[in-house]
Amino acid sequence: MGGVNPRNIALIVVGVLVAGGVAIAVVFASTGGDATDTASTPTASASAEAAEPSATEATESAQPSEEPAEAAEQEAAVSPGAYVEYSPAALEAAEGEKVLFFHATWCPQCRALEADIQGSGVPDGVTVLKVDYDSNQDLRAKYGVTLQTTLVHVDESGELIDRYVAYEQPVLAPSLAALGIAGS
């Protein structure tokens, strides 16, 4: 009967290579990507380096981080021609014409309108704020929104100017034109 089947040898070699690759990946992952010299014990100088932060690290950690209020203001500051997630702070900070876009992740027309916004961009002087349709029932009631893809144009105080449903034509430019927003 004799002989070793070359096919079996090939399978064994492939198995060994795969097992070796998995072992290397496990070691790499468990060391946080630093798989060099994992078996050796740290030297005295390495221990001293780890115990004492470098001058750069000490300086960085000694400097105070941004004040929370400043960070919130910077995050909420919106420039014209912007598409941002809705929040009361973002609405208040929005510049130019303010348009609320009532969006639902499960709505194909909403996804199409969002793709158009991201692909074509928002005209200068306009801020579009993406409002989650499902979790903002109070805003829906305030502005009379009954269908996702509704765009609501609001004034500086957040009061309704006009509303438009872009379901049939989920494209930003004609939707803004329907809201009477120039430059669209």
Looking at residue 41, what is its pLDDT? 40
Helix, strand, coil percent content, the chain, rounded in steps of 5: 45, 15, 40
Over its C-alpha atoms, the chain yields an Rg (Å, rounded) of 29
d(CA 97, CA 7): 71
CA dihedral 150, 155, 156, 157 (to 10 degrees): -90
| pLDDT surpassing 90 at residue 30 | no
Structure confidence by residue, pLDDT tens digits, 90-147:
999 998 999 999 999 999 999 999 999 999 999 999 999 999 999 999 999 999 999 9
Looking at residue 144, what is its pLDDT? 98
Looking at residue 3, what is its pLDDT? 61
Which among 167, 170, 164, 174 has a CA at the least distance from the CA of 143?
Answer: 164
Contact 98, 153 (CB under 8 A): yes
Per-residue pLDDT band for 54 (boundaries 50, 70, 90) equals very low
Contact 40, 57 (CB under 8 A): no
More confident position, 183 or 93: 93
- Cα angle vertex 144, ends 138, 146, to 5°? 90
Q: Considering only 49-58, 83-92, 108-117, which range has the smallest mean pLDDT?
A: 49-58
Looking at residue 97, what is its pLDDT? 96
Per-residue pLDDT band for 12 (boundaries 50, 70, 90) equals low
% of the chain at pLDDT higher than 70: 55
| pLDDT surpassing 90 at residue 69 | no
Looking at residue 64, what is its pLDDT? 40
| pLDDT surpassing 60 at residue 48 | no
**pTM for this model (two decimals):** 0.58
d(CA 159, CA 139): 11
Q: Which residues contact 148 (CB under 8 A, 6 or more apart)?
A: 102, 103, 104, 107, 109, 110, 133, 167
**Domains (ranges, CATH) in the chain?**
6-62 (no CATH), 76-178 (3.40.30.10)
Sheet order of strands, 97-103 included? 82-85, 126-132, 97-103, 150-154, 160-165
- Cα angle vertex 36, ends 35, 40, to 5°? 110
- Residues 155-173: what's their mean pLDDT? 96
| pLDDT surpassing 50 at residue 166 | yes
SS3 126: strand
Per-residue pLDDT band for 5 (boundaries 50, 70, 90) equals low
Q: In 77-132, which ranges are continuous DSSP H helix?
A: 88-93, 108-120
